[in-house]
Structures are given as C-alpha cells and as structure tokens.
Amino acid sequence: MFHKEFPDYTWLKQQTEKAFREPINGQANKFVREGWPVVIMNATSTFCHRPDLKGPFSIFTNISGSSSVQVGSRRVTVSEDSFIITNKAQYYTLDIDSSTPIETFNLHLGQDVWEEYTYSCASTDLQQLDSPEYSQYTTLAEFPNLLQTRNQSINAALAKLYSLSQNPNYTKLQLDEHLVLLFQALAGQKRELLQAASRIPQAKQSTRAELHKRISLATDFILSNPSEQCTLDELASMACMSKFHFLRTFTSIYRSTPHQFILGQRLQRSQRLLRKTNLSVGEVGTICGFPEIVSFSRAFTKYTGCSPAVFRQKSK
C-alpha cells in the first residue's frame, strides 16, 4: 500500500517492536496476523526526526531533496540519485533537516517478501514444487548498509512504482508485479556488489569483505556529498587505510580511480538536473561541484558527446 503521510511515531514504534502482531482476544500466543505489511511511504515533509525504528527489508530514497538515514553508527545522506537498504529487523533513524518540503519514497517491503523472492531465485523448480513457501535465508537476501547509486534498472522500477502511487485505482496485483521488477533490479545490483568485491586481489574472503566495507565508508561520503572537494588522503583516512592501499583497492573494486568515480557521479547528476529542472547550465555545474562553467561544459561534452545545452534540448 502507498502512504502519503508518515504515521504517528509513537504508534509506529509500538507496532514495529512487536512486528505488527495483533493478539486474538488478549491471548498472547495467538495472533490475527503477524509481520510487517508492504508499505511504500511517499510522504512530503519538512523537519522530521523518526529515531530508532525497527523495520523489514527496506529501501530509502527520495523523489526530491535529501534526507538522512542512520543504521547503527553509519549515517548517510540520501538524495534522488542514491539509496540505502536496511535488512530485516534492523533499526534505522530517518531525519529530514529542511524547511523546503522533501518528497520521500521509502519502501518497507513486508514480512519476508524480499526473502521469498530471493529464495525462489536460489531454488530449483523441483525444490519449489516440494516446498513452495519461503523456508530458508539466502545470501542474496542481505545487503550491506552502504549508500548506492540508483542505476538505470532501479530507476526504471522505481519510476513505475511512483507512477502507480499516483493512481488511486491501482490493484494489489499491479503492485506485486511492479515490485517484482524492482526485485529483479535489486538482485542484479547485489550480484554487481559481489562481483566488485571479488575483484579485490586477496585470497581470503574475509579480508576482501573487510576491505570492501572500508572502501564503502569513503563512497558513502562521496555519494552523500556530491559537490564536496576531497583529497586522496582524506578519502583514505575515512577508510582507515594508507592512501596508496586505498587507491589500489578502490580502483580494483570500481575499475576507476576515485577522481574518475567522483567525476562520473557528478556528470550523471548533472544529466538529471538538466532533464528535470529549469536551472541554468552554470547553476547545474555549480551544484554538481564544478567551480567554472567552462570546466563543466568541457567535462560534460567529453562524457556525453554533446554540450549541456544540446543535451537539455534533446531531452525535452
């Protein structure tokens, strides 16, 4: 179901702590239903603080503006270009620190819905005929709590869900089918994450996992602060690594240097702003971290094959 307003915090906190279980006639061991519902929160809000909430497998992103999500000690800034995932039964804190309304699009995907999908992907037809219900947790089901860029497949799936949310006559069948498109995109994203980690030249899987976790602390900062200028020393310090070890490991994972990665993120963001806003080319460049319009136009033309003005015209 889609919701346009955040529910009462006190009520929600109570419900999430008991996983939305409702006792029958006060009998503590018998329930009307058990488990989180599927809820897509398309709320528009200004200043907002919703701390320490337990949830199902959830995706946090925005239609417009930025919000902050904290999972454990990890805190990131989520924009229209990025998302972060929290896994089943994890606690999160959501903050909106803006006087300008922010339109969220946070997907809380219900009791074992994503887990059932990953089980179906990992099981043979015979296994599912014998045991059609979700019965085991797969490694595909769990995501690292890191800020990620919304790729083309995820953007397309989210756009379809957002369009559906604007239709008051949508059906449960339509919602389920649209969610499957998102799940397919997420499964692809998880495979890409595993492949990226496997490119780290280390024999031990535990070492690769630790290195990938440390590098992701730096990418969290890059994606949370897309216009921020930072040095290699600063990024390496965030990852608690020497700068040369950081550079080598980062390049192995992303197949690009940190500079190339940051430049690509800025140029991808500038494309969205040119398509969807009326900001001038100079304003777009400044927002995306280019101090001069000349440097922005040169980099953009090299990246896309046309100038920002021509790109905007073609996108209309």
Structure tokens at 62: 């925005």
Distance between CA 31 and CA 12 in Å, rounded? 18
The percentage of the chain sitting over the pLDDT mark of 90, rounded to a whole number, equals 73
Q: Average pLDDT of 105-123?
A: 86
Name the pLDDT band for 306 (thresholds 50, 70, 90).
very high
Inter-axis angle of helices 152-165 and 172-198, to 10 degrees? Answer: 160
What is the pLDDT confidence band of residue 112, given thresholds at 50, 70 and 90?
confident
User: Is the pLDDT at 28 greater than 60, yes or no?
Assistant: no
**Chain-wide mean pLDDT for the chain?**
90
pLDDT band of 115, cuts 50, 70, 90 = confident
Domains of the chain: residue spans and CATH:
2-197 (2.60.120.280), 204-315 (1.10.10.60)
The dihedral over CA atoms of 205, 210, 216, 217, expressed in degrees to the nearest 10, equals: 180
CB 123 within 8 A of CB 115: no
**Measured over all CA atoms, what is the biggest interatomic distance in the chain, rounded to whole angstroms?**
71
- Tokens 């702003």 sit on residue: 273
Q: What is the pLDDT at residue 158?
A: 97
For the segment 257-304, what is each residue's pLDDT rounded down to a tens digit? Answer: 999 999 999 999 999 999 999 999 999 999 999 989 999 999 999 999
Evaluate if residue 215 carries a pLDDT over 60: yes
Look at residue 31 in the predicted model and tell me its pLDDT: 41
Average pLDDT, integer, range 2-27: 82
**Distance, CA of 282 to CA of 300 (rounded, Å):** 12
- Structure-block tokens of residue 182: 């998102």
Above 80 in pLDDT, residue 123? no
Residue pair 178/216 in contact (Cβ under 8 Å)? The answer is no
Per-residue pLDDT tens over the stretch 42-86: 999 999 999 999 999 999 999 999 999 999 999 999 999 999 999
The pLDDT-based confidence of 22 (bands split at 50, 70, 90) is low
- CA-to-CA distance for 63 and 42, rounded, in angstroms? 8
Q: How far apart are CA 249 and CA 189, in angstroms?
A: 20
Q: What is the pTM of this model?
A: 0.87
Q: Torsions phi, psi of 223, nearest 5?
A: -75, -30
The pLDDT-based confidence of 131 (bands split at 50, 70, 90) is low
Phi, psi angles (nearest 5°) of residue 203: -75, -40
More confident residue, 120 or 138: 120
In the chain, the N- to C-terminal Cα span, in Å, equals: 32
Q: What is the pLDDT of residue 132?
A: 63
Q: Is 92 helix (H, G, I), strand (E, B) or coil?
A: strand
